[in-house]
Structure 1
């Protein structure tokens, strides 16, 4: 089975970037330690610092489900980060071919 890839675009509310970056660094560290995590990268736009792009990969849907149910995801992402975002767009994908 192919890994599950997640691409998320977060637009951080004005004045909240430092808080979000501090919180997401905690999430990244804990997420990378999860058994099914293959990748967790945080990118910041070069033209708009309040735009963050996350790239994540999990070995399968069960690993993604475990990540989303984890205490750190629920407490930090859902409970603390999401209220500090203007928008949050998440796309879940599977690779269809290698070029």
Structure 2
């Protein structure tokens, strides 16, 4: 991995009763995202203390790859249109690796 890589940390708070739907949708989104040319990885994690807290950790070769991801049909149709309405809160941080 090099200094141009961009990492995404997204913390989602899923609405009560919507976790199964979110996880099912994210399985498809993750499969499609990992096939993107500029994707390094796409990992989904769940809090041990609150099952409705989901953390996404994604890696992309550069900022252009992040934009391609965000403009992809699957990101728009699955994440933005279907998953986001099932969330109480959504925080997304773009990061660069320091060392």
Length-normalised TM-score, structure 2: 0.96
Map 1:1-99; keep pairs closer than 5 Å. 1-97=3-99
Listed as ranges, the gaps of 5+ residues in structure 2 are none
Which ranges of structure 1 fall in alignment gaps of 5 or more residues? none
Cα shift readout 1:15-42 (whole Å, capped 9, x = no counterpart): 0000000000100000000000001000
Count of paired positions: 97
Distance 1:81 1:11 in 2: 11
The CA distance in 2 between the partners of 1:46 and 1:91, in whole Å, is 21
- Could you tell me the TM-score, scaled by structure 1's length? 0.96
**Aligned-pair RMSD on alpha carbons?**
0.7
